[in-house]
Amino acid sequence: MKYFYTRSNILLLLSCLFYPFSGISQHQKLPVSDFSERDYEPVSDNTTLTKGQTRCFSGTGILNELTIDGGTLVITGKVKIKKLTILKGNILVAKKGSAMLPSFEFNGNSSLINYGSVTFTGNVSLNHNRNYIANAGPGSKINWGSAKFNFGGKKSIFINNGTTDIGTLILDSKNGKILLGPNSLTNVVNLVNNYGNRIYVPTGIAKLSQAGFAELPQSLTNSPNLIICPGPSSDIRIISASAGGYGHANVMEKGCTSFPSAPNTMLTSYK
């Protein structure tokens, strides 16, 4: 079933996402949605989207510069944005949409909800309070390439229900949460974890591959249904006397190149 969202629907969805939550499982239940460009005015190049403004990019093309200061950008086509500033506001990528985004910072009360495909050409940082990134559907893809994703700020949330590729993932949010959905795949080259147990797998089994180094002074997760595959060139760097390691994750032997087929029941041990 497809869902076509009006402006009021989008604002309601965003308000629900940012409402203080009682449990993490509710953030896994994101509808796979398309958005109709007929509901919105087209976005202009070199413009600022302010509070109450929702604009849409359809078709194929380039935006040279865009600032979001309280507004919302809906992407139903294929766009490359060369310069992007998000002071606060939202980007929504439809199921058939794709976006190539430059290096930028989330500066609080901002979100990126992706049902299609997003590629970053530079580093992305979450700063200040209540930033939210969701790779929302099982077929959704976010790709950082070799760039860094600095998961910082207060009460940050990152959801992966599909496939995410990250050059270097830095977990630097004391009370943020990374939520990995059932059968999701997160591929990282390098992994740095500065706060304990920020990765959650509420239901099912999630997979995380590590190709490069890991710095794990704090425990990575309390979720035993996270399977970690350290690749042939992976390494754990000891940077302090304390070492939290992978926590309660199920860690495969170093050198693994693929994951086991997911069983019908949750894994309790796979080492």
Q: What does the pLDDT profile of the chain (271 residues) look like in tens digits?
A: 333 334 444 444 444 443 333 333 344 444 445 666 677 899 999 999 999 999 999 999 999 999 999 999 999 999 999 999 999 999 999 999 999 999 999 999 999 999 999 999 999 999 999 999 999 999 999 999 999 999 999 999 999 999 999 999 999 999 999 999 999 999 999 999 999 999 999 999 999 999 999 999 999 999 999 999 999 999 998 766 667 899 999 999 999 999 987 653 333 333 3
The pLDDT value recorded for residue 35 is 66
CB-based burial, 227-266: b 16+ in 10 Å, e otherwise = bbbbbeebebeeeeeeebbbbebbbbeeebeebeeeeeee
The pLDDT value recorded for residue 242 is 65
The pLDDT value recorded for residue 117 is 99
Map out the domains of the chain as residue ranges. 7-17+25-251
> How far is the C-alpha of 24 from the C-alpha of 8, rounded, in Å?
25
Choose among 190, 194, 166: nearest CA to 180.
Answer: 166
Contact 63, 57 (CB under 8 A): yes
Give the containing element (helix H, strand E) for 16: helix 7-18
The pLDDT value recorded for residue 261 is 76
What's the gap between Cα 10 and its chain centre? 19
The pLDDT value recorded for residue 40 is 87
Distance (Å) of CA 260 to CA 187, 255, 267: 16, 14, 11
Q: What is the pLDDT of residues 77-131, one digit of tens each?
A: 999 999 999 999 999 999 999 999 999 999 999 999 999 999 999 999 999 999 9
> How far is the C-alpha of 106 from the C-alpha of 114, rounded, in Å?
15
The pLDDT value recorded for residue 8 is 44
